[in-house]
Structure 1
Amino acid sequence: MTASIQFWFEFASTYSYLSAMRIEDAAARHGVAVDWQPFLLGPIFAAQGWDNSPFNIYPAKGRYMWRDMERLCDARDLPFLRPDPFPQNGLMAARLALVAKQQGRIAPFVRAVYAAQFGRGLAISDAGVLSKCWLEAGLDATLMQGASTPETKAALHGQSENAQKLDLFGAPSFIAGDELFWGDDRLEQAIMHAASI
């Protein structure tokens, strides 16, 4: 049986961008497969009484995060441009990610969306931006309509419910076996744990 790790990500999450761009290579070095799991943080934040990103609610935390992202992206040679507004509405992108997963192309689609949002500062709620990401991932344009079906909408709702059942409180989150790891800086630890079980 191949070792695997669940990668729970939210498109509006800055640190999920960092993980999405490196998780497959990092996991492959240890023979670990990646199970991509899109979800929405909105319901989780709402349950904590937040109506916005904690990076907006707590300005000092937000200032630190943006500077931290600049440093990390520079060190990893990743483009970085702060999108406006923040957080972006990633609802349609998340639905499309579920369709892309059915086609076996979720990883390139997710990377394309993150690159558009945090690499070029584009609005990922824009249908044109998402269409370009879709085609960049090598997906058939006609399949995009699958994101609007009741089945896909229900599936994304189910993703958020599952995230809450798993006690996820932020993104990126990684599940290896029965262990939860949170944050891009825990990615390697999560992969090593997955490889050991």
Structure 2
Amino acid sequence: MPKLSFWYDFASTYSYLSAMRIETLAADRGIRIEWHPFLLGPIFKKQGWDTSPFNLNRAKGAYMWRDMERQCVSLGLPFVRPIPFPQNSLPAARIAYHGRRETWIGAFTRAVYHMQFALGEDISNPELLAALLLELGAPAKDIMHDIESAEVKIGLRAEVAEAERLGIFGAPSFVTEHGELFWGNDRLDEALDAAFMRVG
């Protein structure tokens, strides 16, 4: 079965659009998704940015919010603008990194995005995150304990380093088994086609 690596930051607006549909689209093509939650903040800081480029460039930010409204209508997704933006995605990223190979990773990822971009909830709230895990039947108490371990913290930092090695500079990004990089929600279908064709 061909596979495609999905790199996403929970604070990323366009990652929301991809996360809500990638698993279904991949299943239709017989492609397995490898989930790679990571943090864009450290990558942005190396470029001299202390926040999202959508905040640094007012015109770009205004366009992005309007574009998100259009895209969500087109995809049938609810949308509210989270406050603040970007949100602190570190706790959710640690949970997703810890559970990246678990059966609940896709559902958890979608649930976090839904809470943030559909309901405007604070995704840094540990009680909210624990509740989402419980709803999915995951061992929430153990997971919330484990994400404070050095292993998880170092592992997530290593994921950021790996993203940089792959040339990833934004989210969502998709990487095929042969290292082909696609960036942006509007490249999701192209990335899936490339993942399938390389094997087929």
TM-score w.r.t. the length of structure 2 is: 0.95
Q: 1:50-89 alignment to 2 at 5 Å? A: 50-89=49-88
Which secondary structure does the structure 2 equivalent of 1:158 belong to?
helix
Whole-Å separation in 2 of the counterparts to 1:26 and 1:103: 19
Name 1:146's counterpart in structure 2.
146
Name 2:166's counterpart in structure 1.
166
Report the AA paired with residue 135 of structure 2. Answer: E
User: CA contact under 8 A between 2:72 and 2:78: conserved in structure 1?
Assistant: yes
Which secondary structure does the structure 2 equivalent of 1:5 belong to?
strand
Which secondary structure does the structure 2 equivalent of 1:93 belong to?
helix
Which secondary structure does the structure 2 equivalent of 1:71 belong to?
helix
Q: Does 1:180 align with 2:181?
A: yes
Q: Report how far residue 126 of structure 1 moved.
A: 0.9
% same residue: 51
User: CA contact under 8 A between 2:38 and 2:159: conserved in structure 1?
Assistant: yes
Deviations 1:72-117 (A, max 9, x none): 1111111111110000000010000022224332111111100001
Q: Does 1:134 align with 2:133?
A: yes
Report the AA paired with residue 197 of structure 2. Answer: S
Unaligned runs of at least 5 residues, structure 1: none
Q: Does 1:90 align with 2:86?
A: no
TM-score w.r.t. the length of structure 1 is: 0.96
Whole-Å separation in 1 of the counterparts to 2:101 and 2:74: 34
Q: Report how far residue 136 of structure 1 moved.
A: 2.7
RMSD: 1.0
Whole-Å separation in 2 of the counterparts to 1:165 and 1:100: 23
Report the AA paired with residue 193 of structure 2. Answer: M
Q: Does 1:15 align with 2:28?
A: no
Report the AA paired with residue 191 of structure 1. Answer: L
Unaligned runs of at least 5 residues, structure 2: none
Runs of 4+ in 1 over 3 A off after TM superposition: none
